[in-house]
Amino acid sequence: MCPIIILMYHGYIRNKKSLCRQLGVEDAGIREEVEKNLLIEGYKKWGEEVVNHIYGSFAFVIHDDVRNETVCARDPFGICSFYYWIGSSGELVYSIDVRDIIDNEGYSKEMNLKAFQYYTMLGYMAGEETLYKNIYKLMPGQILICKNNKIKKEKYFELHYAPEYNISEEEWISRIDGTLDCILTEDRNNIDLTGCYSLLSGGVDSSFLLAKSGVNKAYTVGYDMKDYSESDDAKETARALGVQLEEEVISIEDYFDSLYGYIKKMEFPTTDPSTPVFALGMKHLSKVSDWCYSGEGADEFFAGYHVYKRKEEWNSSGAPLYVGCDGVMGAEDARVFLGLDNIFSLEELVEDIYKGTKGMDALYMMLGVDSTVWLEGDILFGAGISARKNGVNLVLPFLDRRFFELSSRIPAELKLKDNCGKYIFRKTASKYLNTNIAYRKKVGFKNPVRQWIRDERYRDKVEDVLFGDNSKALYNQTMLQKAWSNYLNGSDTDFRIIYSSYMLLIWYENVFPRR
The amino acid present at 390, given as its one-letter code, is: N
The answer to whether position 103 is within a domain reads yes
**Per-residue confidence at 232, pLDDT binned at 50, 70, 90?**
confident
**pLDDT computed for residue 491 by the predictor:** 86
Q: Which domain holds residue 491?
A: 453-511
Residue-level pLDDT at 2 = 74
**Statement to judge: residues 196 and 122 lie in one domain:** no
Q: What is the mean pLDDT of residues 222-232?
A: 80
Please check whether residue 83 is in contact with residue 97, taking contact to mean a CB–CB distance below 8 angstroms.
Answer: yes
Strands (E), 78-228: 83-86, 92-95, 135-137, 142-147, 150-155, 197-199, 217-223
Listed in sequence order, the residues at least 6 apart from 342 whose beta carbon sits closer than 8 Å to its beta carbon are 335
Of 411, 295, 395, 405, the residue nearest 363 (C-alpha): 411
Mean pLDDT, to the nearest integer, of 177-181? 98
Cβ atoms within 10 Å of 326's Cβ, excluding its own: 18
Q: What number is the average pLDDT over the span 302-319?
A: 91
Euclidean distance between the first and final Cα of the chain, in Å? Answer: 48
Query: What stretches of 90-199 adopt beta strand conformation (E)?
Result: 92-95, 135-137, 142-147, 150-155, 197-199
Does 258 fall in a domain?
yes
- Both 256 and 405 in one domain: the answer is yes
Same domain? 242 vs 102:
no
> Hey, what amino acid is at 147?
K
Last residue of a domain, one of 120, 155, 190: 155
Q: State the number of CA atoms in the 13 A half-sphere of 82 facing the CB.
A: 28
Query: Domain check: are 497 and 395 in the same one?
Result: no
* Spatial CA neighbour of 112 closest among 91, 131, 90: 131
**Model confidence at 263: pLDDT above 70:** yes
Whole-number pLDDT of residue 447: 81
Amino acid (one-letter) located at 419: N
Lowest mean pLDDT among 42-56, 258-272, 445-459: 445-459
CATH (domain of 139) = 3.60.20.10
**Do residues 112 and 212 both lie within one domain?**
no
**Together in a domain, 200 and 71:** no
pLDDT higher than 90, residue 434: yes
The alpha-helical segments, DSSP class H, found in 411-476 are 412-415, 423-429, 435-438, 449-452, 456-466, 469-474
- Shared domain for 466 and 502, answered yes or no, is yes
Span 353-376, mean pLDDT? 96
Strands 135-137, 83-86: pairing is: antiparallel
| 197 and 293 both lie in a single domain | yes
From residue 266, how far is each of 100, 275, 288, 345 by CA, in Å? 13, 10, 22, 27
What's the whole-number mean pLDDT along residues 342-353? 94
Q: pLDDT tens-digit profile of 115-166?
A: 999 999 999 999 999 999 999 999 999 999 999 888 999 999 999 999 999 9
Structural domain contains residue 332: no
In the three-class reduction of DSSP (H, G, I as helix; E, B as strand; rest coil), residue 164 is classed as coil
Measuring CA to CA, which residue among 351, 358, 265 is closest to residue 317?
Answer: 358
205 and 253 in a common domain: yes
338 sits in which H/E element: helix 331-338
Burial of 188 (C-beta count, 10 Å sphere; 0-12/13-18/19+): middle
Does 342 map to a domain? Answer: no
Long-range Cβ contacts of 354-357 (<8 Å, 24+ apart): 356/158, 356/159, 356/160, 356/161, 357/161
For residue 185, pLDDT over 50 is answered with yes
pLDDT digits (tens, 9 = 90+) for 270-280: 889 999 999 99
Number of domains in the chain: 3
353 found inside a domain: no
Would you say residue 340 lies in a domain? Answer: no
How confident is the model at residue 222, as a pLDDT? 87
CB neighbour burial string for 59-78, b if at least 16 within 10 angstroms, e if fewer: bbbbbbeeeebbbbbbbbbb
Res. 349 pLDDT band, cuts 50 70 90: very high
Cα–Cα distance for residue pair 160/165, rounded to 1 Å:
16
Q: Which of 438, 462, 478 is the last residue of a domain?
A: 438
229-243, 319-333, 344-358, 437-451 — which is least confidently predicted? 437-451
Element holding 44 (H helix, E strand): helix 31-46
Q: Is residue 308 part of a domain?
A: no
Q: What is the pLDDT of residue 445?
A: 46
pLDDT, tens digit, 9 for 90 and up, residues 474-507: 999 999 999 999 999 988 889 999 999 999 999 9
pLDDT of residue 421 exceeding 50: yes
| Helix H or strand E encompassing 57 | strand 56-64
Which H or E element spans position 497? helix 495-511
Q: Is the pLDDT of residue 443 over 80?
A: no
Q: Is the pLDDT of residue 351 over 70?
A: yes
- Reported as type and span, the H/E element at residue 34 is helix 31-46
pLDDT of 316 strictly over 90: no
**Average pLDDT over the chain, rounded to whole?**
94
Q: Percent of the chain having pLDDT more than 70?
A: 98
Pairwise CA distance, residues 125 & 274, whole Å: 17
Same domain, 124 and 232: no
Identify the CATH number of the domain in which residue 430 sits: 3.40.50.620
For residue 229, what pLDDT is reported? Answer: 72
- Amino acid making up residue 510: N
Write the CA distances from 337 to 330, 342, 345, 484, integer angstroms. Answer: 10, 12, 16, 13
Domain boundary among the residues 125, 155, 185 is at 155
What CA–CA distance (Å, rounded) separates 80 from 254? Answer: 27
- pLDDT, residue 333, reads 95
Q: Is residue 240 part of a domain?
A: yes
Over range 310-314, report the average pLDDT: 93
Same domain, 174 and 267: yes
Neighbouring-strand partners of residue 73: 60, 143
- My answer on whether 390 and 286 are in the same domain is yes
**pTM assigned to the model:** 0.95
CA dihedral over 260, 122, 277, 188, signed as positive or negative: negative
User: For 76-115, how does the pLDDT look when each residue is reduced to its tens digit (9 = 90+)?
Assistant: 999 999 999 999 888 999 999 999 999 998 999 999 999 9
Query: Would the pLDDT of 446 be above 70?
Result: no
**Residue-level pLDDT at 288:** 94
DSSP result, 365-426: HHHHHIIIIIIIIIIIHHHHHHHHHTT-EEE-GGGSHHHHHHHTTS-HHHHEETTEETHHHH
Query: What length does the chain have?
Result: 515
The residue among 447 and 372 whose pLDDT is bigger is 372
On the CB side of 364, how many CA atoms lie within 13 Å of its CA? 22
